[in-house]
Amino acid sequence: MSDLTVGDVIAEQSFELSRDSLVRYAGASGDFNPIHYRDDVAQSVGLPGVLAHGMLTMGLAVQPVIDWLGTRGVVTDYGVRFTRPVLVDATDGATVTVVAKVGAILDETTRLDLTVTFADQTVLGKAQVQVRFS
Amino acid sequence: MNPELQGRVFEPVAPYLVGREKVREFARAVFSTSPLSLDPAAAQAAGYADVVAPPTFAVVVQEATLAQLLAEPDGGIDFSRVVHGEQRFSYTRPIVAGDELTATLAVTSIKSLGGNDMVTAESTIVDASGEHVVTATSTLVVRGEA
């Protein structure tokens, strides 16, 4: 894609997570760790409350890239570090915001760098997606 | 954690048959709105045999291999202290409903850092013809006893 420049913001989106979202992800993924749906269990292991699955945050964070890409290509690589938890309040839920920027234009792929934040703090580190245009 | 885990390669886990409704269920759970993942006709129009799994779907296939690692009798990994540190997926091609996938785990690295142990495990996932589809790599942090 010759019309892309490093630093361009290609997508920006916010996601509203609720406890329902966590239960839905637990069922879909098979990850039934109770720290993702029970406050008492979360607190018993020293957490402030129920957390989103890291893999849910990772999974939704790439979706703005998928929508932007459409049928023009495929994701060839996607990696993240889990740096901070996303606390999902029983009443208010949690808002996770994703900004995707062009990080590098390589020979065969384009790297998109994701900034993923919750409560004004980054929750994923080195979140990078490589896409190959067809 | 047992440092001798480094380099260990496990037996392949039982094949995982990717179902259309499982892909759609997973896609909805990660807030996908992509017609390629949700609508078989749209996927077929784009040249795929069936719906295309979101990039992180491979974790569902990988899961059985991580269970092998945690259950390894001489592994010494206390599951209650395990935190997910890093995750990566490297694809040769997307996963599509109908794929029969087989995952094989290898432990590529064991490290100790600041009182915590870190294990990096690589699950190589191939299709029914043995062709590479995706490698899913997890780094698990086993928190030290405080």
Nearest to residue A85, comparing CAs of A124, A113, A59? Answer: A124
User: Mean pLDDT, to the nearest integer, of B96-107?
Assistant: 98
pLDDT of residue A2: 60
Residue pairs spanning A and B at CB distance below 8 A: 93
User: Mean pLDDT, to the nearest integer, of A93-118?
Assistant: 97
pLDDT of residue B53: 98
pLDDT of residue B135: 98
Tokens of A29: 């993924």
User: Mean pLDDT, to the nearest integer, of A105-119?
Assistant: 96
pLDDT of residue A71: 96
**Which candidate from A55, A63, A77 shows the least CB-CB separation from B32?**
A63
Tokens of B124: 């190589």
Domain ranges of chain B: 3-19+56-142
Q: What are phi and psi of B85, to 5 degrees?
A: -95, -50
pLDDT of residue B146: 56
CB contact under 8 A, B26 and A28: yes
Instruction: Tell me the CA end-to-end span of chain B in Å, nearest whole number.
Output: 15
Query: Which of A15, A24, A57, A133 to probe the B interface (max B CBs under 10 A)?
Result: A24
Distance (Å, rounded) from C-alpha B36 to C-alpha A73? 12
CB contact under 8 A, A56 and B32: no
Q: Residue B78: pLDDT band by 50, 70, 90 thresholds?
A: confident
Contacts of B80 in chain A (CB under 8 A): 45
Distance (Å, rounded) from C-alpha B110 to C-alpha A78? 22
Residue reference for tokens 């996932």: B125
Distance from CA of A21 to the nearest CA of B (A): 7
Instruction: Determine the topology of domain B3-19+56-142 in CATH.
Output: Thiol Ester Dehydrase; Chain A (3.10.129)
Nearest to residue B86, comparing CAs of A55, A46, A36? Answer: A55
CB contact under 8 A, B30 and A30: no
Q: Residue B76: pLDDT band by 50, 70, 90 thresholds?
A: confident
Domain ranges of chain A: 9-17+53-133
Contacts of B83 in chain A (CB under 8 A): 82
CB contact under 8 A, B29 and A15: no
Q: Residue A38: pLDDT band by 50, 70, 90 thresholds?
A: very high
Distance from CA of A27 to the nearest CA of B (A): 9
B91 at the A interface (CB within 8 A)? yes
CB contact under 8 A, B34 and A63: yes
Residue reference for tokens 């899913």: B136
**Which candidate from A29, A45, A75 shows the least CB-CB separation from B91?**
A75
In this structure, chain B runs to a length of 146
Distance from CA of A49 to the nearest CA of B (A): 16
CA distances from A48 to A85, A88, A90, B86, B112 (A): 10, 10, 12, 22, 27
Distance from CA of B5 to the nearest CA of A (A): 23
Task: Count CB atoms within 10 A of the CB of residue B143.
Answer: 13
Distance from CA of B92 to the nearest CA of A (A): 7
* pLDDT 10s digits, B42-65: 999 999 999 999 999 999 999 999
B50 at the A interface (CB within 8 A)? no
pLDDT of residue A1: 53
pLDDT of residue B143: 83
Give the CATH H-level superfamily of domain A9-17+53-133: Hotdog Thioesterase (3.10.129.10)
- Predicted ipTM of the assembly: 0.97
